[in-house]
């Protein structure tokens, strides 16, 4: 199998598959939920790669048989065999490409929960309204996929939009599909507050962070400045009587997290700490890579319209992702959670790029 440079050698993966099946059959494995989840994800990846290899081997065997038959003297048999060769050749090539994609190692964050942070960018009230639209789109997308989602933090705007929000999403495949949502999203539409009917352009920013485990990020009490206050916004008499909102400032980095979504001060504190840990993990990774000074800032830029990764054009009812030159129609459906075509195209583009790198001969 290894004679073809574009054909990965799956000998080691086949051995690992047997090991993983043994581990997952052992009840002791599930004593550590985190380890069991990681092993389960590795098992699915390994089994998929081996299955793809089995399919390629079977198709190659069929093709070899058809080619041998095409060399037979009998004209009738030769014609049938040549038709079979023409059918099998593209199937073998497709299976070979599928195998290359299947052996791409999963992203290290693919088994984690993700935090999707949405912020209003340039454009004032309209930007905040659009940020609210994006928050709803990701919430509905999670529901459609059967993923759990929880609002960790919300800072509403005066007109019912969102200044800033943090959404936690838990579910297999969430990280892989949502990772590419990070960046500046631009919208072109007539704002509800625009009397003249002119189309305005505004923007919202999205950051996607892997949720940090408590053991990964140590928070020292002396590094945290924690304050409480009465929550503002909707909530009836409760928000006027109870100091449930929590703000945490991480003194060494200056990172600030504010949570007021829950009526319980304890719950808001727990949520704020989850967000803070994830932001600190992301910042640490950025420093380690030395490819950017601040991971979140480079992810979303300044929020300026010119840095957009995607444009939502309401007059033409189209969404264009500028990274993969993809245009789809149906903005309302997309903002109601119908993001499948876009996020899957971005994931496939990433896999193609990684597959090409994997099959490219090393220098």
Q: Exposed, middle or buried by CB within 10 Å (0-12, 13-18, 19+), for 136? A: middle
Contact partners, residue 202, CB within 8 Å, separation at least 6? 121, 122, 123, 124, 126, 127, 130, 186, 187, 305
Predicted pLDDT at 105: 77
Tell me phi and psi for residue 123, to 5 degrees: 125, 5
Contact partners, residue 221, CB within 8 Å, separation at least 6? none
Predicted pLDDT at 339: 96
Q: In the CATH scheme, what is the code of domain 221-289?
A: 3.30.160.20
Q: Domain segments of the chain: what residues?
A: 11-102, 114-214+298-352, 221-289
Predicted pLDDT at 77: 84
Q: In the CATH scheme, what is the code of domain 114-214+298-352?
A: 3.30.70.1660
Q: What is the mean pLDDT of each run of 10 residues along the chain (363 residues)?
A: 52 89 92 86 88 92 91 80 92 86 78 90 92 96 95 87 92 88 94 77 92 81 87 48 81 89 85 89 73 49 66 96 94 96 90 70 48
**Crossing angle between the packed helical segments 33-70 and 75-102, to the nearest 10 degrees:** 160
Tell me phi and psi for residue 318, to 5 degrees: -135, 155
**Crossing angle between the packed helical segments 33-70 and 11-24, to the nearest 10 degrees:** 140
Predicted pLDDT at 109: 79
Cβ distance 209 to 152 under 8 Å? Answer: no
Reference 51, options 94, 119, 98, 90; nearest CA is: 98
Tell me phi and psi for residue 242, to 5 degrees: -120, 135
**Angstrom distance (rounded) from CA 261 to CA 246:** 10
Predicted pLDDT at 235: 44
DSSP-derived 3-state class of residue 288: helix
Predicted pLDDT at 259: 87
Q: Encoding tokens for residue 303?
A: 């929020």
Bridge pairing between strands 255-259 and 245-250: antiparallel
């Amino acid at each position: 199998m290894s004679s073809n440079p574009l054909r990965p050698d799956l000998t080691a993966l086949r051995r690992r598959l047997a090991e993983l099946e043994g581990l997952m059959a052992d009840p002791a494995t599930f004593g550590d939920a985190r380890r069991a989840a990681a092993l389960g994800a590795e098992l699915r990846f390994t089994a998929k790669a081996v299955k793809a290899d089995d399919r390629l081997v079977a198709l190659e065997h069929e093709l070899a048989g058809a080619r041998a038959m095409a060399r037979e003297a009998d004209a009738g048999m030769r014609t049938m065999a040549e038709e079979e060769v023409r059918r099998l050749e593209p199937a073998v090539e497709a299976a070979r490409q599928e195998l290359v994609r299947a052996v791409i190692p999963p992203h290290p964050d693919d088994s984690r929960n993700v935090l999707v942070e949405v912020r209003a960018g340039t454009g004032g009230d309209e930007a905040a309204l659009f940020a609210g639209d994006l928050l709803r789109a990701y919430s509905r997308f999670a529901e459609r996929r059967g993923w759990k989602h929880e609002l960790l933090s919300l800072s509403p705007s005066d007109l019912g939009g969102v200044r800033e929000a943090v959404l936690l999403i838990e579910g297999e495949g969430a990280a892989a599909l949502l990772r590419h949502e990070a960046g500046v999203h631009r919208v072109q539409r007539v704002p509800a507050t625009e009397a003249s009917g002119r189309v305005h352009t505004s923007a919202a920013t999205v950051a996607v962070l892997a949720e940090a485990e408590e053991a990964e990020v140590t928070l020292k009490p002396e590094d945290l400045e924690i304050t409480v206050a009465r929550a503002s916004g909707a909530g009836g008499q409760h928000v006027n009587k109870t100091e449930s909102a929590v703000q945490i400032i991480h003194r060494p980095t200056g990172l600030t997290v504010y949570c007021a979504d829950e009526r319980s001060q304890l719950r808001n504190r727990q949520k704020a700490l989850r967000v803070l840990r994830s932001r600190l993990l992301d910042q640490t990774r950025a420093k380690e890579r030395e490819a950017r000074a601040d991971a979140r800032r480079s992810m979303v830029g300044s929020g300026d319209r010119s840095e957009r990764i995607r444009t939502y054009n309401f007059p033409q009812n189209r969404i264009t992702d500028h990274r993969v030159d993809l245009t789809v129609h149906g903005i309302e459906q997309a903002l109601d959670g119908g993001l499948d075509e876009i996020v899957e195209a971005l994931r496939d583009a990433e896999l193609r790029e990684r597959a090409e790198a994997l099959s490219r001969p090393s220098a």
